[in-house]
Amino acid sequence: MRTAPLLERLKACLGKHPEWDDARIAAAIVGSGIENVRSVRAGGPLVTPVEEEKPEPPRPSIRTVTLEQVCERYDIAAAIRRELGKFVGELVLERDLAILAAGKDSNRFRRAVENNIEEFSKNRLKMALPNDPPEGRWYWSDAKTIAEAVRKRDEFGK
C-alpha cells in the first residue's frame, strides 16, 4: 500500500473536512503537525518538511545462512588450509588437525586429504618421535616447516 506525500494528504483532508480545526486535521494526518496544516490551509507550502517514512518490505521469517557459512562448515580442505595457517613453524598431530578442521567426522577429513593429495603432500610428514609408536605418526604444518623437518629427520635419523 503506497501512501501519498504529506502535502497531498493535507490538501485532501482539508477539502473533505473544511469545517475541522487545524488541531483535528493535524491529529488525523500522521506526521503533519499543526504548523503544516495552517500553512497548507493558507495556500502555502509545507513549513516543516517531514521525511516520508517508507515502510520496509516485509522480510520472510525464515532462517537464512550465508554461502560463507556453508563453505566454512563443509569445505574441509579450506578448513585444513585455515588451520595450517595457525601452526607456522610448529608441527601438529594429524589427529588434532582433523578435530580442528572437521570436528568429530574424521572420514570427512580423510576424504579431503585424499582428494587433495598433491596439495597436502607438502604439508604432512610421517615420523616417529620418542613417545610415538614405532611406525610413527603423521604431523602437519606449513610447507617450509615440513621441508625443514624432513631435512632434519633425514640428517639426524641416520
Q: Within 10 Å of residue 139's Cβ, how many Cβ atoms?
A: 23
pLDDT of residue 78: 92
Quick check: pTM over 0.85? no
Return the domain boundaries, the chain: 6-41, 67-156
Q: Is the pLDDT of residue 105 over 90?
A: no
Amino acid type, 8: E
DSSP summary character for residue 47: S
User: Among residues 147, 124, 148, 140, which one has the least CA distance to residue 87?
Assistant: 140
Q: What is the DSSP string of 68-136?
A: HHHHHHH-HHHHHHHHHGGGTT--EEHHHHHHHHHTT-HHHHHHHHHHTHHHHGGGEEEE--TTS-TT-
pLDDT of residue 96: 94
Joined together, the cell numbers standing for residue 76 give 574441509
What 3-state class would DSSP assign to 92? Answer: strand
Q: In a 10 Å sphere around its CB, with 0-12 CB exposed, 13-18 middle and 19+ buried, how is residue 26 labelled? A: buried
Strand blocks (E) in the chain: 92-93, 124-127, 137-140
- With a pLDDT cut of 70, the percent of the chain lying above it is 92
Q: Is 98 exposed, middle or buried (0-12, 13-18, 19+ CB in 10 A)?
A: buried
| Model confidence pLDDT, tens digit, residues 19-73 | 999 888 888 888 788 888 888 888 888 877 655 566 778 877 888 889 888 888 8
Give me the mean pLDDT over the 101-122 stretch. 92
> Average pLDDT of 125-147?
90
User: So what's the pLDDT on residue 1?
Assistant: 42
User: Are 125 and 151 a contacting pair, CB within 8 Å?
Assistant: no
The predicted structure's pLDDT at residue 108: 92
- Across the strands, what pairs with 46? none
CB 73, CB 47: distance < 8 Å: no
pLDDT score for 39: 85
